[in-house]
Amino acid sequence: MEQNAKQPKHKSGFIAVIGRPNVGKSTLINTLIGQKIAIMSDKPQTTQNRILCILTEPDAQIVFLDTPGIHKPKHKLGEYMVKAAEGTLKEVDAILFVVDATEKMGPGEYYILERLQATRKPVILVVNKLDLIEKEQVLPIISRYADKYPFVGVVPISAKAETNLDSLLTEVKKHLPEGPQYYPEDMVTDQPERLIVAELIREKVLQLTRDEVPHAVAVETDEMTTRPNGDVYIRATIYVERDSQKGIIIGAKGAMLKEIGALARKDIEALLGSRVFLDLWVKVKKDWRNREGVLHNFGFGVES
């Protein structure tokens, strides 16, 4: 009995990861959980859905919510993304506010700090991309943010170079309540495989196409079946808003679509642990980002 009393209590809880678009939130979460779940791109506003990612350690289970970047919305999809991000702040035990060490503090950061004032949740400042700046630049960056908000902790990191992530987890655990393991040890996300497959395909579209396409893209997994030999057949549709965008994604003689498929297939095979046959189609849905019915069909909750 006495031994049990000395054992540290198990902790569990929910952590929102917020920040302006393109500060490295998804890279951070993928690195922490050791598997690619959240999609990454150098295009802002990459994450469209709120994705729940689970890190299980012997002493704690941390459930990270990777939220769409908070920004001023320009269409109904943008409104949904911001609503999803802000709604998350009310449901969590603590918040990681991720900022880019290479970018000056600007209106985007002030906009988020304003929203944090209302949450009354512990907020940890995470200064990311440490590998891209000189050491002496770190303290002035931290001071600027600390002057604007009473953070409970500050951790400079590089998600890409995996620098200081242990310190970040130690800081996070301080703010978790005691609690059970909510999810099985081998579970890393609550998202169905079909959704992650669609997201991985969308990531490749964002990486390979020019600026006129990115946020006009949605992907749906139409069919996913395991064949008798263990291979997985996947048929997915890439939706865009204009015929010109469809032409860009297909490319000359289908070259772009082939490249999207080849890159996506690699990630999907790693995710599923099986050989994958990927059958991609491209369709036009005019102005889908402003059509509530279409957004709803794509899984975006657009309640007003």
Query: In this predicted model, which residue has the larger pLDDT, 296 or 208?
Result: 208
Residue 294 above 60 pLDDT? Answer: no
Residues 6+ apart with CB under 8 A from 94: 13, 15, 16, 121, 122, 123, 124, 152, 172, 175, 176
pLDDT at residue 70 is higher than 60: no
pLDDT of the residue at 85? 59
Average pLDDT over residues 72-78: 55
In this predicted structure, what is the pLDDT of residue 299? 54
Tell me: pLDDT of 186 over 90: no
Say yes or no to pLDDT of 179 above 90: yes
| Residue partners of 183: CB distance under 8 A and separation at least 6 | 54, 56, 61, 63, 190
Give yes or no for residue 303 having a pLDDT over 70.
no
Record the pTM. Answer: 0.66
Question: CB–CB of 241/288 below 8 Å?
Answer: yes
Q: What is the pLDDT of residue 261?
A: 96
In this structure, of 112-116, 149-153, 289-293, the range with the lowest mean pLDDT score is 289-293
Q: Cα–Cα–Cα angle for 29, 31, 32, nearest 5°?
A: 65
Average pLDDT, the chain: 83
From the number of C-beta atoms within 10 Å of its C-beta (0-12, 13-18, 19+), residue 166 rates as: exposed
* Most confidently modeled range among 64-68, 91-95, 165-169: 165-169
